[in-house]
Chains A and B, each alone.
Chain A
Amino acid sequence: MLGKAAGWGIMGRSAIWLPRAGTVFLFVFLWSLLVRIGDYPPFILPGPERVAARLWALAAEGALWRHWWATAVEVGLGLGLGVTVGLALAYPLAHWRLFEQMMTPYLVASQAVPIIAVAPLLIIWFGPGLLARVLVSALVAFFPILVSAIAGFRQVPLEWRELFRSLQATRWQTFWKLEWPAALPVIFGGLKISATLSVIGAFVGELISADRGIGFLIKQGQGLYDTPLVFGGILLLASQALLLYGAISALEHRWVRR
């Protein structure tokens, strides 16, 4: 079994990374081709080399990492808060119908509220600091994890529940040794969505109010008609979403056994 796993590791690495590198190359190539054929000025559609140069200039100023990290902190805290609140609400919602009936309208409504409209209010209520941006991120991140965790807790098979009942497990034991691990695969599905949304949330928070971060960079790029900077910012955002997604997938691979 161990041998098999190790074999997969070596096989898997080249088998996965080669096509990935290929698609990245293809993407950049097509992008570059489009710019060349259309002969677009950079303020309409900058080529990959211009975007790369802009990012390089930003890195040379030392600003790239500072902005990237500022957003990463917001994303991390926002996702953490969103996941904590989502999971904390999911358990009672999954188990108590009355609580669910009371809360569901508010939870659904909270997701219909356009975040762009609420974000400025959050900034007025909580001040134009880190807290407001983290809250915006958490607000968009908590819903997918909430929904998936409720589904996860509810789909625990009856046989397993009866097994735990017959073994006279306490509520805490049932949660920790049955419901949590049984729901984990579903929760991970929601977590991946939450993670990508938390990046968007932090970005929106920064659009509304920030003096640093990728959202600030993109807003600045827009304000200064610096389209390569806007594209660079989008790539930076994408890098965070990808990194987060990869980290969560790795955790999932370690923790979840279907």
Chain B
Amino acid sequence: MRHRFLVPSLLLVALTACQALAGLPAPATPTPIRLPMGYIANVQFAPFYVALEKGYFAQEGIELSFDYSFETNGVQLVGAGQLPFALVSGEQVPLARAQGLPVVMIAQWYQRYPIAVFALAEKGIRTPPDLRGRKVGLPGFFGASYVGFKALLYASGLRDEEVEAVDLGGFTQVAAVKEGKVDAAVGYINNEPLVLRRAGFAVNVIDVADHTALVGNGILTNERTIRDDPDLVRRFLRAFLRGLRDTLRDPREAFEISKKYVEGLSGENEAAQWEVLQATLPLWQAEMPGRSDLRAWQEMVNVLVRMGQLKEPGDIGAMFTNAFVEELWPLVEQGR
């Protein structure tokens, strides 16, 4: 099991050697890569759809396929060396490393943590202190929603027992809020609040990223891939960054491309999904998209320790690397 990646990488070395001799621009046999997305097909994955559609991955000799499964599975597959990459939320990295999974984030795609607390306007919940004594619904006591929610409480000086967290047992926050089962709920800022608004409700949103810096979603790999096959990392990341660049520059084009990959982007839902993409773009924007901030990692690890999910902070420096992004982005930005 542990040696599974050794064989392909050896092959790759051999292939590269052959190419060098033959002087070919791209590998003759593309590397197949299955990418766990951690969510269902969605317009939020537009940069990947753009990169795939425009042949950026093909140019790097990568044959990309998407795997829309649970986030934890992706982390485990990458940690165990079964897959080279996965899309995951930042807090998964310290949690997984604490259990010995040698995973590393190589690009922090979401610069802002995308979690928010939202409530019907009539509840009068505008700032974190308004949550005191209220019932807040979560899709479960795990994942980005849970961490973002707790981080918001701690950043605002609230204690755990001051807000009643309710496990909704799945992504049913919109229904729970609409029916008044909870006073507020935790969701993705580019998803649930938009759905409620489009349904004609006045909604208040508390953006976690306004109150604390956490590490949002990004691309995960494992230590062995970085060590043994940094070129694969470079190729994969370059294709992604070019897709991200194009999406930020021309969202309309990215949306049109995404229609091919996501059901229900045209027709009655088109306007709503376009709104989702527009609400998502600001989460990606930065001077250097994909770069991680050490302070955000420290902040997040502190929250996890306080929540009791981590016993100790661990080696924060080993959780991520900016080396690839810093090398690649300037070139990508120049259109290369």
Please report A residues at the B interface, Cβ cutoff 8 Å: 38, 40-44, 119-120, 123-124, 127-128, 132, 208-211, 216, 219-220, 222-227
Docked Cα-Cα span, A41 to B81, in Å, equals 12
Which of B125-133, B137-145, B212-220 touches A? B137-145
The answer on a CB contact under 8 Å between B99 and A219 is: no
Given A124-B176, A222-B142, output 9 extra A-B contacts at Cβ < 8 Å. A38-B1, A40-B1, A209-B167, A209-B170, A211-B167, A223-B72, A225-B72, A225-B96, A226-B99
Closest CB-CB distance, A154 to chain B, in whole Å? 39
A225 partner residues in chain B, CB cutoff 8 A: 72, 75-76, 79, 95-96, 98-99, 101
The verdict on A222 contacting B99 (CB below 8 Å), with A120-B170, A120-B172, A128-B169 known, is no
Provide the residues of chain A in CB contact with B168, threshold 8 Å: 123-124, 128, 209
**Cβ of A128 and Cβ of B166 under 8 Å apart?**
yes
Of residues 128 to 182 in B, which have CB atoms within 8 Å of A's CB atoms? Answer: 140-143, 166-170, 172, 175-176, 181
| CB contact between B99 and one of A42, A209, A220 (< 8 Å): that residue | A42
Write out the residue numbers on chain A whose beta carbons fall within 8 Å of the beta carbon of B166: 128
Does B169 contact A208, Cβ atoms closer than 8 Å? yes
Residue contacts A-B, CB under 8 angstroms, 20 given: A38-B1, A43-B100, A119-B169, A120-B169, A120-B170, A120-B172, A124-B168, A124-B175, A209-B167, A209-B168, A220-B141, A222-B72, A223-B143, A224-B95, A224-B98, A224-B99, A225-B95, A225-B98, A225-B99, A225-B101
> Beta-carbon contacts of B92-105 to A below 8 Å, as 1s and 0s?
00011011110000
- Can you list, as one digit per residue, whether each of B272-290 has a CB less than 8 Å from chain A (1) or not (0)? 0000000000000000000
Interface positions, chain B 87-133, Cβ under 8 Å from A, are: 95-96, 98-101
Contact assessment for A42 and B95 in the assembled complex, using a CB-CB cutoff below 8 Å: no
Cα distance, A72 to B251, chains bound together (Å)? 53
Which residues of the other chain, B, contact A216 by a CB distance below 8 angstroms?
141
Asked if B206 is at the interface (CB within 8 A of a chain A CB), the reply is no
Q: Which of B101, B142, B181 contacts A223 (CB 8 A)?
A: B142
Residues B210-269 near A (CB distance < 8 A) = none
Residues of B contacting A219 in the complex (Cβ-Cβ under 8 angstroms):
140, 142
In angstroms, Cα B167 to Cα A209, docked, is 6
| CA of A223 to CA of B147, assembled, Å | 12
CB distance from A20 to the nearest CB of B (A): 33
CB distance from A134 to the nearest CB of B (A): 14
Cβ-based interface call for B296 (8 A)? no
Chain A residue at minimum C-beta to C-beta distance from B82: A44
Query: Which one of B1, B96, B141, B172 contacts A211 once the chains associate, using CB atoms below 8 Å?
Result: B141
User: B residues within 8 A CB of A208?
Assistant: 169-170
Evaluate contact between A41 and B167: CB separation under 8 angstroms: no
* Nearest B residue (CB) for A229: B99
- Could you tell me the distance in whole angstroms from the C-beta of B228 to the nearest C-beta in chain A? 17
How far is it, in angstroms, between the C-alpha of A41 and the C-alpha of B82 when the chains are bound? 14
Residue of B nearest to A226 (CB): B99
